Structure 1
Amino acid sequence: MTAPKGVTRRRFVQASVALAGMAAASKLHSAQEPAGEGLFDVHLHLSQAWYGADHGPIDARQLLAWMDAHDVAHAAVLPLVSPEAFWYPVTTEFVLSETRAHRDRLFPFCAVDPRTLATHLPQRKDVVDLLKRYQDAGAVGFGEHKPNLPIDDPLNMRLYEACSDVGLPLLFHLDNLANVDEPGLPGLARALAAFPDLTFIGHGKGWWASISGGLTKADLHVGYPRGAVISGGAVDQLMDRYPNIYGDLSSSGAHALTRAPAFGRDFIRRRADRLLFGTDYYDLTQQAFPQFSLFDELEVDPDVRRKIGGANARRLLG
């Protein structure tokens, strides 16, 4: 094949390979779509032009094409506003604008860096008013929340309070660089107890490492821990104690449940009402998404697939 005029051969080859992969993925994954309204990916991202030709941009049209190729019916689209979160800010305004014409399938989240509450949003009413404006513009959740602060930092806690007031579920990333906590996740426990009406959705290396007990501080920043899962993990303990904590299976989530398949099989069944399907797609070069084979690998029954694949997200996000 010859590259179209104005398109470099390298870019043309990349696009051709990606489309071929999407077609193959569509055939592979079509049998995995749970019954009902189809997969709901709770964790996708858009990116702007300056991300670089090899990685992006990813606009709404491209995101929908990727979703179609992977049999994803609906998706939450998450901004990234904290300086630690991405190579550059992906603003709430950009996400709201890009998704506006596709709200039948793309559901925007909003985000505010909590450090703004120390400067430009000093009062509770200021934060609530901003979140309500985002909500009125279509936002159905808050996140990806990813600041380099303790997860129970006073600024974070003020932000959680506003999200609870407005009724926006909050999806957070937790590791040793974002929403920092200690082994056992005591800071997260304090946040969950303080805001019982706020739905928290856990994501990231530190969150998913915490399915296991016996962790050190360094373990909260290991991308894909291997080996047996030791009893006493914080994730199970928190889910037992707090009905407002959920888990996002994107990124390290699928790896966490397949590191010890017997544990993963039991966990995904026990926590079927509290887990959400997601991939964390944000880059054109991404190829592997183990979330699509997770249900088959762990021999998950149809009712659990339905809940995790979409029903839970639709219930939480309306």
Structure 2
Amino acid sequence: MHLTWTKVAISIGLLLGSAASAQIPDELRMHLRRSRVEQAYDLLLPMLEASPDDPELHAVYGSLMAQAGRHADAATAFVFGDGTQWYARSGMRQHASSLSAMGLIEEAIQVRALSRLNPRRDESSDIITFAAMVDDYRRARRWEDGQEALDELFSLSDGPKAWCAAVWFYTDQGRWDEAFWAAWHASQVSDPLECRLARANLYLQMGDLDGAEAILQESKKHRIRHLVMGSLLAELERLRGDPAEAVRIIRLRRYSDTMHIDLRAAEVRALIDLQEYDEAKDVLDQIRSYHLAPQYQDLVGALAAAQAAAGLSDQ
């Protein structure tokens, strides 16, 4: 089933009203926790159709859109879900991440700053917030701002979230010694999945494909649906010289209904390798909401360069 997200977003309406907020079923919460986008959608849609003016449901819808990588829809839904329990507990961070994914870094940082005004926040909440800010700045390639956020994060904690954020941050800059140092520390403090994926990405970027594969093969036994894992598995196959297998992985049912930038970026790179330029352009069109993000702009440039090398004009 291919989800018609935009059509649904329009058809349910985005109207605030005074109706009592719906109870969120445990089954829906479970699907969201496990990133089961299609199953969550099937449960949420009838609720939205029955109560299109319920801000709590719009906040949940925003979370679902964020998981699906439909960040423009997510950002809109979160505006109408602001002030709800769901938004305060879960949606605000996802709202910021959606804004960040679209390249709206200042807006994302503002939302994260607002989340720190929550009177019930604790140190663990601040750790999550600063780790996310490091990722925001990393994706925007604002390295000085990112380093400041990373320093603040380490002033709060030297736990796995801090070391994991550091691995991604230093890897993207090609600061290999610091990235390896952070990866070693992460492995000493429980080494959760996010840290293992950061280490796998480091190995991929360094060209150690066997090292990356060992981590990914072990990790996928536990969280095969993890979107970043899917993107790394696909990129591993592409770097091994099998872009067709990379595309096959990305188009598996478990990944096919998301517009997650890392997954779709891996797909575009693989399609370019296959010289399927029209398909690559179609994927870029699907993720146009990322157009301000450097990662998206890199993909546009890579496609244009490949077409030029092949003697084709960029349509």
TM superposition score normalised by structure 1 = 0.33
TM-score by length of 2: 0.33
Flag the structure with higher strand content: 1
Higher relative contact order (CA 8 A, sep 6+): 1
The structure carrying a bigger helix percent of its residues is 2
